[in-house]
Each structure stands twice: as structure tokens, then as C-alpha cells.
A and B are shown apart, each in its own frame.
Chain A
């Protein structure tokens, strides 16, 4: 790897100068120091980095967060409002015990990271920063290492049973200049089952890392709705490790947001594991959304799917970088990747970089990427049945996103997401 340039070192040190390592027990302090070393070794992302070719990291890296107006959500109820769940609320990146439910539930333990940080011995020692470290090879992800070093808050969850009631992380944005980092660690024991929900704009700038260790035969389900403030900026990383016969399913809805980079880095380490990641996004105007996915198959007979759909209008930009790496022992891998954009005008842009790297010989991998406009034939068909052009266009837009939304297993959660999409489209149709 090329040496870090002086310019990059300066930018990195300028950012680091604004941060303090949180006080932690020795095991955690050690993990934070090691992460800081990784940040310095790689340097924070710069405009010339190949991995950031389509997304300018400047606002995510600069010392101070660009301010972001707090958005008035009006009467609209927050997403997942009707879902029975354990609510865990963070305001501008700080846990709020007043707004949260008591941190307890059946089949799992949940603690606040800043509480865990005081403990001399904790199981999270083996996990905190571990999957993030593994995920630094072959591509560096310095903003994730920065998070491991400096995140003060987050949740630490250990799941031992089959948990039907989801844990819901709610991110409230109140301050125009908030710069938040959260680091969550989730460990699913063998045969455990768990659903995590996330929603809310979080902060003016948000850096979040989620590390999920899924043991054999366990199932992890994740549904996230990123919104609704427009000026916010976010970089998020999900690091997942999948054991044998385990399942990992993650879906993200993104509406609005000037800058969002969502990375998912999954490693299938046990035979017969299944990993699905999906995303639907709706962008309007000065919207930039980047999905970067890296899935490594390192075991036999595993399945992975990446399904990403973007609707872009008024000059919005979408990016997809997705890779499937099949190592030589990962025979009978079934890999699928699709990234598509619906461009509603000539000003909007979609950049896609699908990659397959395969070392095993008995493998079925497919990938595809398309960009297109609304299908005129379909539009006329709907209008000829009496649907006004706007409603017909919205219906076709929802239909375009359907393949991604269908990746959500739970029907009630899928309906929640569809109703959000519908509301977003309706708001814009009615101006």
C-alpha cells in the first residue's frame, strides 16, 4: 500500500485533535488504542482514495461537523411507531435513560457501552473492535476504526434465546451542530434469534459502527430507516460474522440526507450460512447516497444476496460498490447481487461498481446493474385505466423498490417501510 501522504496525515491529525479517547477499563482502552493506531496507519479517507471515488469523504472527515438544520416532522408518526419493541433512545448520540425503556428483556442482556467501559472484565472484550479489525483487510475502513477508538456510547447486547420482541434504537437529532459516534456490539449465541430496528437522523454528523457476531444456527434480522432530516451526514458500518447454518438479514431504507455512506462487511465463516443485505433509497435534489458492500465467502454451501434499489430525482446521486469474494474453500457458493436505479430526470446520477472475485471452482454467482427511467408502456397502461400520471408514476416507483423491500421477512415491518415510501412519494406529489 502506498504511504500515507502528508496532506492525508495532516487531515487525519486535524480530525483527531478534536477528539478525546473516552476513559475505559484496560481491556477497552487497549482496543481503543489499537484502533487509533489503525486510523493513523491508514489515514482518514481522502478524495483520491479509490474506495471513495464516487463519494467525497470531506464532510465526513473534516474536524467539525457541518451544521444541519433540525427538520420539522410535522404530524407524521415516527417509523415503527406501531411495532411492539424495546425502545432505546439516543439524543444527538447520547443515551437517554428518560426516553428509553428499562434495559432488560427475556433471552438477552442489553447494556450501555459507557457502563460496560467501567468493568474490568466483560465478554465484549472478545468482540469490541474485533470484527471491525477483520474488516480492514483487504480494504481499509479508517472511519470505522476512528469510531472504535472514540465512540463513547452504544449498546452491548448478548442474545441467548429466541427473542421475538425487537430492540429498537432510536436516534434523535436535536442540536444543529451535533457530531455523534455510536458503537454497538451484538453477540448471538448458538440458536439465538434477534431483531434489531434502527431509525432516526441521529445528529448533524453521525458515525456508527455495528458489530454482529452470529453463532451457528442463530438468526439476526435488521431493519433500519434512515431519515428524515435532509441536511444530515452519516457514515455507517455493519460488520457481521456468520457461523454455520446461521442467517443474517439486513434492510435499510434511506430517504433524504445530503450525505450517507452505508458499508456492510460480512464474512460467512461457517457452512450453510445465509446473508442477505438490501436497501431502498429515495433521493431528491442535493442527496448523495452510497451503499458499499463487501461479502466474503469462506465456507461451503453458503448463500448471499445483495439487492439495492435507488430512486433518484432532481439531480440526486446514488452510488453502489458491491463485492463478492469467494475464497478457495467456499465451494457451492450461491452469490447474487443486483443494483438498480430509477432515474426520474436527466440530472440525476447513479454510479455502480459491481465486483466478483472467485477462487473456488464450484460456484454460482450472478450480478447485474441497471439504470433506467419509468417504463412508458407501463405508465400509459396505468393511465389508460384512469390513474393520474403522478399516482401512476408513484405506483411504478414503489413497484421498482419492491424487490428490495421483499427482503424484509417480517410482514408488519415490511408494511411499515412501504407506508414510509408511500408517504414520501405522496408528500412530493402534492408539493
Chain B
């Protein structure tokens, strides 16, 4: 599904190398988690994959189902099936949540050469998906993320994911700013989307999210590289001992 080979990235503005050769393959139907200390390059990886400005790829490649991601505009990556759940979802005053989502769904359909969804079908679909995420009609009407609590913003991200039905989902610290109940709700939303045809890359600091979204593979990232890969037990090890031991053993 997602294939990253020796990816090297630096910041455009300053001469600072962030990713120093990342290798990672996420298969369809699998959930991979990336853990790592602050500044290890986890969020940069998610931004580079989704096409945010400000990064320069200095080497390596990244592809989604064999298609070169790095060559595409952000909207083309989205239409190809990539979705990034933001760590800090952006507030967009003046743009209604519902309008935004319908425009997005239809733009992706159009890019893939499919028919637009009818207003009626869209409404039915979004109501159904919103209900399971406990998003009420009022939240759907409000401007995108404006005045939303931290938990509401993250639920809104998952709602977008559910509506857009991407093939590859990247969750960038979706657990940050969530209380226990909100984390449970968000995790249930993610788990409902787990599917044999869909891959997940879950970026997190903490093991607790992985109690809810059970990963198949766990990677530890440090200083711009994946330094260790293992099963779910690796996350528990981090939780108990911190990163120091792992970093010491891989240094």
C-alpha cells in the first residue's frame, strides 16, 4: 500500500536535515504505529507524505499503490487515497463543515472520474457517520473546527476520514489533547474503518492510544530514522522504560 524507501528530507528555509533515510512499508489491512521522542521526525514524515510546503525531499521515494506520491499536488494525493488526520486541525472561519465535506467528497470523486454524490445521499451518509462519532447537527453546520474543543476537532478529523474513505490513513498524534472518553470514541471511529483494503499509520507518543487501536507493527523513530521495528510488545516496552534503552541499544 504505502512504500517509503530511504526518504531524506530537509527544511526548505533552513539547512536542517529532518529525515535521514526512512524505510517503511505499510501493507493493506495492517495498522503500523510509529513512536518516538520529540523531534525525531514523525510529524515531518506525515507532512511530507501529504504534500505540505516547506520541505525539500533530498533523496529517496514514497509511493501509494505504486504511484509516486512526491510528484503529486496535495489534492492529487488525497484523490489517490491518502488521508492525514492532523495533529492540530485547522480552524476555517466562514466555511461550513458540511459544505467543506461535500466539496471535498465531490472533488475527489471528480478527480477519480466518478459521478458527484447527490445532496440527499450525502446528507444521509454524513448523518449516519456523524451519529456514531457523537457529532451533532449543530457541529456539522458550524464553520470547520471553529470553536470546537480539542476532542471535537479530532472527532471531526475522523468524520472526514470516514466520509472520504481513503486507502491509506495517517493519524498524526490523534491522541494529543484527548481525555480518556474522547480517546475511546475516536479509537472506535478508527477501528470501524479497519478493513482488508486499507492501511493505517498511527503516529503517537504514548502507548495508551495503542491499547484502543491495536497495531500489527510498531516502529521506533529517532533522529530521522526508523531505529527499531517489532510487534505490539515494543510499544509496551517504551511505556515501561522510555526511549532511552532502545536508543542506547541501537546507537
Q: For B94, what are the chain A residues with a Cβ–Cβ distance below 8 Å?
A: 396, 398-403
Cβ-based interface call for B204 (8 A) = no
Cβ-based interface call for A74 (8 A) = no
Contact A376 B74 (CB under 8 A): no
Q: For A392, what are the chain B residues with a Cβ–Cβ distance below 8 Å?
A: 75
Q: Tell me the total A-B contact number using a CB cutoff of 8 A.
A: 77
A385 to B79 Cα, complex, angstroms: 8
Closest to B103 in A: A387
Contact B95 A391 (CB under 8 A): no
A388 to B107 Cα, complex, angstroms: 7
Known: A378-B92, A396-B95. A387 touches B86 (CB 8 A): no
Cβ-based interface call for A18 (8 A) = no
Task: Please classify the interface of chain A as helix (H, G, I), strand (E, B), loop, or mixed, using the class held by over half of its residues.
Answer: helix
Contact A399 B160 (CB under 8 A): no
Cβ-based interface call for B108 (8 A) = yes
* Min distance, Cβ A379 to any Cβ of chain B, angstroms: 9
Closest to A387 in B: B107
Contact B107 A396 (CB under 8 A): no
Cβ-based interface call for A381 (8 A) = yes
Cβ-based interface call for A395 (8 A) = yes
* Min distance, Cβ A401 to any Cβ of chain B, angstroms: 8
Known: A386-B164, A400-B94. A391 touches B107 (CB 8 A): yes
Contact B107 A381 (CB under 8 A): no
Stretch at the interface among B48-56, B128-136, B187-195, B235-243: B48-56
Cβ-based interface call for B78 (8 A) = yes
* Min distance, Cβ A89 to any Cβ of chain B, angstroms: 35
Contact B90 A378 (CB under 8 A): yes
Cβ-based interface call for A382 (8 A) = yes
Closest to B94 in A: A399
Q: For B92, what are the chain A residues with a Cβ–Cβ distance below 8 Å?
A: 378, 381-382, 396, 399
Q: Which of A350-396 contact B (CB under 8 A)?
A: 376-378, 380-389, 391-392, 395-396
A403 to B95 Cα, complex, angstroms: 11
Q: For B83, what are the chain A residues with a Cβ–Cβ distance below 8 Å?
A: 384
Contact B100 A395 (CB under 8 A): yes
Most buried by A among B77, B94, B100: B94
Q: Which residues of B contact A (CB under 8 A)?
A: 50-53, 73-75, 77-79, 83-84, 86, 89-90, 92-95, 99-100, 103-105, 107-108, 111, 143, 160, 164
